[in-house]
Structures are given as structure tokens and as C-alpha cells.
Amino acid sequence: MTERLRLKKNADRRLKAGHLWLYSNEIDIAVTPLKDFEPGAQAVIEAANGKPMGIAYVNPHSLICARIVSRDVDVRLDRSLLVHRFKQALSLRARLFAKPFYRLVHGEGDLLPGLIVDRFDDVLVVQLNTVGMDRLRDEVVAALEKVLAPRAIVFKNDSSGRRQEQLGDEVEVAYGELPDQVLLEENGVRFVAPVLDGQKTGWFFDHRPNRAWLNGLVAGKRVLDVFSYVGGWGVQAAAHGASEVLCVDSSAQALERVAENAALNGLTEQVSVGEGEAFEALAAFKAEGEQFDVIVLDPPAFIKKRKDIPNGERAYARLNREAIRLLGRDGMLLSASCSMHLAPERLMECVRGAVRHQDRHGQVIYQGHQGADHPVHPAIPETAYLKALGVRIFRN
């Protein structure tokens, strides 16, 4: 018999609106004590009047103490439900993309809280970010095997979310044999994805439409790609006609991959790399009198938690100020943020302030978001995390 988790009076409003999360302060612990639950156990969620509302998995040690996996209380999160959800997710991606390179499962956006699956053709990279999902690792592998019959499945379990759930880090090939090189194609450009030792799953599919937009504006331009990682923006810019691209990152290993990806596309002449911390590199370029036509700012999340918002916003503002100093008379800035706690209007404000600080004019000509393979859950604002602004910046 499945355990029950009773909500306090009126604590069911967000669930009725479609949300999938329950917080520990919403639970009637007098009726159903959270401490009685084993982390990862599944439970029937009940309204204060005892009415069943859905099935969730529970972590009594987390602020988000339960996550809904089905509104049908007769269903359990098991191999069968995973197969069903994977097929639902796959049918969307098959409509969106001609080639099998995309995020297959985007957590709550695909009604599978705590689970990320990125697809690199016949290699799947999985992140199990919660105790509830981690307990189902064998079922996840079996369901993926049934739906896609992959060559290899990699567990890339080293996210900060896992540490919040008191789970350890692990990176391993969970199924099959990993090829020497895991390749992907995005916007017609080929890349090697470092799925074992790279950031996240090895690649960031979320910026695909934003890169595609910028690719149309770089022909003949000198481009600076800051926080370049393995060259997603920079190598694509070169492939779409940029005369010169400089990729800057603090990781020597990432820059080796930039060079490898440039060579893979026959772009070694156009793409160069520079190792350094972003703010120091921007200051050095200014001191050397460097100028660029297009600058891409795609930093890691400066705001991880709400308490980081003031410092994070200052960092975004400073980054944009330093970059704008390096643009020519009529330049293009692509300014992005993956911090879900940074509201879109705040990124706009950071850019506006930076433009005025340099006594220039700005025209926002593009506002981008995460790609469609990262679907937004309409009841969960946190699933809409990515922002990108394309800004023409010019002098009087």
C-alpha cells in the first residue's frame, strides 16, 4: 500500500494550477509526519480533506519535499511510466528536429522532475538530480533502452542539484560502450561533445535558436566569444562567415576542444583561442586597443540562489560594461543569462545601464529563450531560465 502525504488547508492551490512541487511547510505533519518517509519513497498526495491529488516521490530532507509524477493515483513512477513519458518526449523532438541531437527529457518540462536526458544520436547522457530519480536508475536505463536502443548511456551525475539532495557525484558509462568521440551537429556545424569530462552533459543545446539567429549576422565580422566553453558560439560564427573569431575561456581543456571543433569543420585559420578569466581578459583587450564587431557573453549562472541576486546583477552589469568598451562604432552584443533567478527585465536593465555607461545607444533587435527541446512548464516559472538579448550598439 502506497503511503499518503496530507497537505495543509489551502496548500493544494498550486497543485490545482498545475505545479509539480510541494514544500515542506505545506505538509500537515501532524497527520502525515515527513520524518516517517524514506528519501525517494512514493506517496499519494492528499488535499486537507483527504481527496487524492496525485502521486509524488518524497524527500523529507529537502525544501521541495515532494514532486508530482502523475495526477493518476493508480499510477506509479516505474519503468512503464518512464517508457510512456520518454515516448511522449521523443514524439515532440521528432517533430522539431530532423537530426537526433537534442535534449530528450527536460525535467519538469517533460513531467519527469529531477531527470535530464541529452541525446547525441545513439549516445544518451543522463542526469539524475533528485533522490527519487536516483532510486530509479535501473528503470531509467531499461526504459531508454526500450524506447531508443542506444549504443551507450552515460550517467553524468555531478550537478549541484544532487548535492542539495545529499547525493554524491558519479560519472560512468551505465550501459553499452562509449565511442572514442561523441559527435553532434547543430545549425549545420559539427562538434565533439565531451560527455564524460565536460560541463553539464557535455553540450548546451538550449542556445541552439539563439546561435542560429546570430549566425545570420556574422559574415565578414570580427567576433569575440567570451566564456566560449568548447566553441558553440564561436565555431558556428566562423562556419557562417565570420572573418576572425577569438574564443576566451578560463579552462585550457575547453579551449583544446575549441581548436578540435574548429579543425573538425575546416576552420582552423579563422578561429583562435585565449585562456583567461573573463573580466581580466576584457580589461587586457581594452588596454591593447582591441576592437570587435560582435561580442558574445554567455556566462555561467552568476545567480545560483535568491540571496545571490544583488551581487549577481552587479556582475552581469559589469560584464556587459566591459564588453561594450570593445565594440566598434556600430557593433553587435549578444548578452545571455542562464540564471533562473535573473528576471528578463533585469537583464535588459543591466544591458541598458552598460550601454549608457559607455555613452552609446542600444537597440534591442532580438530577445531569445531556450530552445523548444527545453519546454517550459506553464505552471513552473523556474523552467523558463534562459535569456538572450541581441543588441545593436552604436555611437551618436
Query: Cα–Cα distances in Å, from 382 out to 83, 218, 311, 385, 388?
Result: 25, 32, 20, 6, 16
Angstrom distance (rounded) from CA 323 to CA 150: 43
CA atoms within 13 A on the CB side of 61: 13
What are the backbone angles phi and psi of residue 383, rounded to the nearest 5°? -80, -10
**Local structure of 361: helix, strand or coil:** strand
- Grid cell listed for 269: 585559420
Angstrom distance (rounded) from CA 351 to CA 164: 32
CA angle 390, 391, 396 (to 5 degrees): 165
- The set of residues, in sequence order, having a beta carbon less than 8 Å from that of 372 and lying 6+ positions away, is 92, 96, 209
Angstrom distance (rounded) from CA 388 to CA 382: 16
Angstrom distance (rounded) from CA 325 to CA 337: 20
Residue 47 near residue 55 (C-beta atoms within 8 A): no
Residue 123 near residue 152 (C-beta atoms within 8 A): yes
Q: Which ranges of the chain would DSSP assign to H, the alpha helix?
A: 13-16, 79-96, 131-134, 137-148, 160-164, 208-215, 232-239, 252-264, 278-287, 309-324, 344-357
- Grid cell listed for 320: 556587459
Angstrom distance (rounded) from CA 100 to CA 236: 19
Burial (CB count <10 Å: 0-12, 13-18, 19+), residue 137: middle
338 is catalytic: yes
Beta bridge partners of 92: none
What are the backbone angles phi and psi of residue 391, rounded to the nearest 5°? -125, 120
Enumerate the active-site residues: 338
